[in-house]
Structure 1
Amino acid sequence: MQRKLAAQLAIQSGLEVVSFEHFDCLVFERSETLKMLSPHSRRMLGGRPQDRRVEGDLIVIFKEDLERLRPPSKRFKFGDFVTFMPTANFPSTIAGSAIVEGEVDQDFLGKIHELLKALPDSKAEWISKFGEDFFSRTPTDRCVATVRYLRARE
Structure 2
Amino acid sequence: MQRRLTTQLANQSGLEVISFQHCDCLVFSRGETLKMFAPHSKRVLGGTAQDRIVTGDLLVIFDADLEPLRSPSKRFKFANFATYAPIANFPSTAESSMIIEGVVDEHFFRQIHDLLAALPVSKSEWNAKFGPDFFTRTMIDRCVETVKYLRKGD
Q: Distance in 2 between matches of 1:52 and 1:119?
A: 28
Matched, 1:64 2:64: yes
Q: Distance in 1 between matches of 2:129 and 2:66?
A: 23
Q: What corresponds to 1:110 in structure 2?
A: 110
**How many residues are treated as equivalent by the alignment?**
154
Amino acid at match of 1:95: E
| Runs (5+) with no aligned partner, structure 1 | none
- 1:71 Cα offset (Å): 0.2
Identity %: 65
- 1:84 Cα offset (Å): 1.1
Normalised by the length of structure 2, the TM-score is 0.99
Ranges of 4+ aligned residues in structure 1 off by more than 4 Å? none
Q: What RMSD in Å do the two structures reach over aligned CA positions?
A: 0.5
SS in 2 for 1:99: strand
Q: Distance in 2 between matches of 1:7 and 1:96?
A: 19
Normalised by the length of structure 1, the TM-score is 0.99
Q: What corresponds to 1:148 in structure 2?
A: 148
Cα deviation 1:121-145 (Å, max 9, x = unaligned): 0000000000011000000000000
| Runs (5+) with no aligned partner, structure 2 | none
Q: Distance in 1 between matches of 2:125 and 2:109?
A: 25
Q: Distance in 2 between matches of 1:101 and 1:66?
A: 35
Q: Distance in 2 between matches of 1:3 and 1:105?
A: 19
